[in-house]
């Protein structure tokens, strides 16, 4: 059963990332917010899989991955649930919209970047648990650990105030599409990795 859970988690993560990429391309905000929530749900399952299947000497890295995944998920769910409910269903004042509306690049936008910074830490520690036996596992380890580099940019960028609501939107979309292209292989390779794990 444990193996099935992480396999389903990896598959749902892949589908959610694809849905997110398509929603961004077509500027379908509802779809991008909802799929982001499912990326978070499934990401927790994937990271739990790395903790569960890790060998004794790297268990702590697996637990760190799982914990950072949980922190990421709480932040992301708060951000996007607010977009799908409070922001979408209410007439917000200008001051409130600047803080809560993701499209205004305010408080919740910055929290979103913090969430993805923590997600990057989770993937870095998950990469430490992978003991490559195959070429696909070597790629998986490399992609997971390299994804950890995003921690720095996601943490620093909000402090620099680079993203503004009146800035060109295509830059943000291009960055997110690149992330989707990067993360899809992680979902697929995770599925393959867990398929070969023994309980």
How many angstroms separate the CA atoms of 41 and 88, rounded?
Answer: 22
- 70 vs 106, higher pLDDT: 70
Mean confidence (pLDDT) of the chain:
93
Q: What is the pLDDT of residues 129-173, one digit of tens each?
A: 999 989 999 999 999 999 999 999 989 988 887 777 666 777 778
Domain boundary assignment for the chain: 2-195
Percent of the chain with pLDDT over 70: 98
Position 164 scores a pLDDT of 74
Position 159 scores a pLDDT of 87
Distance from the Cα of residue 74 to its chain's centroid: 12
Residue 53 has pLDDT above 90, yes or no: yes
Percent of the chain with pLDDT over 90: 78
Position 165 scores a pLDDT of 65
Position 146 scores a pLDDT of 97
Convert 133-163 to b/e letters by CB count within 10 Å (16 or more is b). Answer: eeeebebbbebbbebbebbeebbeebeeeeb
Position 115 scores a pLDDT of 96
């Amino acid at each position: 059963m444990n193996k099935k859970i992480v396999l389903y988690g990896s598959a749902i993560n892949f589908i959610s990332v694809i849905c997110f990429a398509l929603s961004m391309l077509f500027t379908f905000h509802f779809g991008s917010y909802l799929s982001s929530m499912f990326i978070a749900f499934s990401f927790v399952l994937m990271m739990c899989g790395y903790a569960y299947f890790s060998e004794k000497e790297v268990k702590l890295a697996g637990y760190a991955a799982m914990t950072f995944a949980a922190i990421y998920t709480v932040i992301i769910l708060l951000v996007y649930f607010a977009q799908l409910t409070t922001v979408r269903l209410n007439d917000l004042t200008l001051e409130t919209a600047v803080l809560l509306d993701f499209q205004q690049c305010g408080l919740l936008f910055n929290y979103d970047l913090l969430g993805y910074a923590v997600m990057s830490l989770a993937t870095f520690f998950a990469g430490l648990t992978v003991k490559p036996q195959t070429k696909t596992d070597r790629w998986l380890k490399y992609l997971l650990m390299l994804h950890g580099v995003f921690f720095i940019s996601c943490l620093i960028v909000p402090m620099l105030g680079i993203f503004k609501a009146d800035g060109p939107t295509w830059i943000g979309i291009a960055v997110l599409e690149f992330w989707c292209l990067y993360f899809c292989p992680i979902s697929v390779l995770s599925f393959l990795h867990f398929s070969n794990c023994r309980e």
